[in-house]
Chain A
Amino acid sequence: MAQLCKVAAAVTISDIRKPRPPTVVEERKAVNKLDELLMAVAVKRDRQAFARLFAECSGKVFGLGMKIFRNEQQAQELVQDAMLTVWRKAPLFDSDRGSANTWIFAVARNRSFDMLRRRKAEPQCVSADDIWPLGEGPDTETHAQEEANDFLELRNLRGHIEELPEAQKEIVRMVYLEDKTHQEVAAELAIPLGTVKSRLRLAIGKLKESVGGVQ
């Protein structure tokens, strides 16, 4: 642990949470340490936060690996696969939908599922991330985006937008009235890209409902 602890000690909570005027979005408190760390990785690719996340989680993943494979080498392989996925796919994490702990568990479950299937030489036509998506995929996103663009161009929705919950209203305003990209919104609000996309999708759904009967 010594090597990992050295990296972790250099970072404090205030490094991760930059002081700035609180927005409505910050009402959502990342109470859990894991949530803070995962958010930092998701939003800013924070390497020190990831090192701390690794320190917190790799033992649990290793333990899960030992339970499943009963083999140290394979358990280590699971740690590698799972934590690499966490590092790469953190932006998909939707902080609205669940906790960081659940998401990381899901990543470990997905990677162990795939490992088992590879070992049993099962067909690779479908993988764990297809069965348990870790976030909004490009298909759902593209489809939702196209629907949203058509929909919003056709209607005067000012009044309906005002009725949205604050978190969703803010995203709709930034994307459609201020013309910001999803990435820009995520950076500005310090939330994962996955959360931006899901809030947008929910907002479009609500707008359709409140306008009523739109296909």
Chain B
Amino acid sequence: MIAYHPTSQELLAFGIGTLMAGSAVAIAAHLEYCPSCSSKAARLEAESAQLWNEVPDNSDIDMDALAPILDAILSAPLPEDSGAAPVSSKQAAIEIGGQRFKLPPVLARVAEGGLKWLSLPGGVSLAKVKVDNETLCTFLYMKPGGKVGMHTHQGMETTLVIGGSFFDASGHYRKGDFVERSETDTHTSESEEGCLCFTVQDNPVVFTSRFARLLNPLNRYLMRH
């Protein structure tokens, strides 16, 4: 039973396409696990598409200027696969710590370029992935009994649980859960059975090196690379 979901506002922004790619990826991954959010997102997208119709036709548009585009499209050769996405050797699962975690297609795509895992104290491993120019995205693995302090000092930290489970003072999070925590949450996360997550930080903070020494090892790593 998935207990943590994105808000309606987030799903609306998702449907319109105004979210940063990192956040959009996290939501898209959640939708793979959650049929109810999937329906909700589809409904919001359809509503946004309705607004598109209500905008009065801009009489300034020079339709003659667009006509060559139509010709170009119809005269271009069609690719053989008639529109299906190219089949690629996507990494459909992550194997780590003797556990195998199946990845939803969008995360398989993100992981495709290869993941460089870094072991951190507390039984935690982390692989950064660059998805856009602003958010800080990682795959985070907690081994059974693993523990990590994940303070975010400004902005929001989104965690999508891919497999296994973890808990903090505020709750217990399982596969498919979409968890958002802010700087006011002093979350030390712990996992009994082991856990793989995809995390997104927006507004990651840049500290001067003076302060960096005071941060836990996880944040020091994130700041440095």
Contacts and interface: CB of A to CB of B under 8 A. Distances in A.
Interface of A: 1-4, 45, 47, 50-51, 54-55, 58-60, 62-64, 66, 76, 79-80, 83-84, 87-92, 97-99, 101-102, 104-106, 109-110, 112-113, 117, 120-123, 125-126, 128-133, 135, 137-141, 193
Contacts of B92: 139
B17 A59 contact: no
A59 B48 contact: no
Top 3 nearest A-B pairs by Cβ distance? A105-B49, A89-B83, A102-B49
Interface residues of B, number: 50
A3 B69 CA distance: 12
B133 A109 contact: no
A59 B70 CA distance: 13
Contacts of B106: 126, 130-131
Contacts of A98: 42, 45-46
Nearest to A106: B45
A122 B67 contact: no
A60 B51 CA distance: 11
Interface string B116-159: 00000000000001111100000000000000000000000000
Interface of B: 15-17, 21, 24-25, 28, 42, 45-46, 48-50, 52-53, 55, 57-58, 61, 63-67, 69-70, 72-74, 76, 78-79, 82-85, 87, 90, 92, 105-106, 109-110, 112-113, 129-133
A66 B90 CA distance: 36
Nearest to A109: B17
Nearest to A48: B74
A144 to B, nearest CB: 13
B58 A66 contact: yes
B130 A123 contact: yes
Contacts of B131: 122-123, 125-126
A1 B64 contact: yes
Contact of B110 (A47, A112, A125, A135): A125
Contacts of A50: 73-74
A117 B105 contact: no
Nearest to A60: B52
Q: Is the interface of A mostly helix, strand, loop or mixed?
A: helix
A63 B61 contact: yes
Nearest to B57: A59
B85 A137 contact: yes
B46 A83 contact: no
A88 B87 contact: no
Contact of A138 (B21, B48, B84): B84
A79 B67 contact: no
Contacts of B112: 125
Given A131-B25, A132-B28, A137 B84 contact: yes
Nearest to A108: B52
A117 B85 contact: no
Contacts of A130: 28, 105-106, 109
B21 A101 contact: no
Contacts of A126: 21, 25, 106, 109-110, 131
A88 B46 contact: no
Contacts of A131: 21, 24-25, 28, 106
A128 B17 contact: yes
Nearest to B111: A125
A135 B73 CA distance: 21
Contacts of B53: 60, 101
B61 A80 contact: no
A45 B110 CA distance: 33
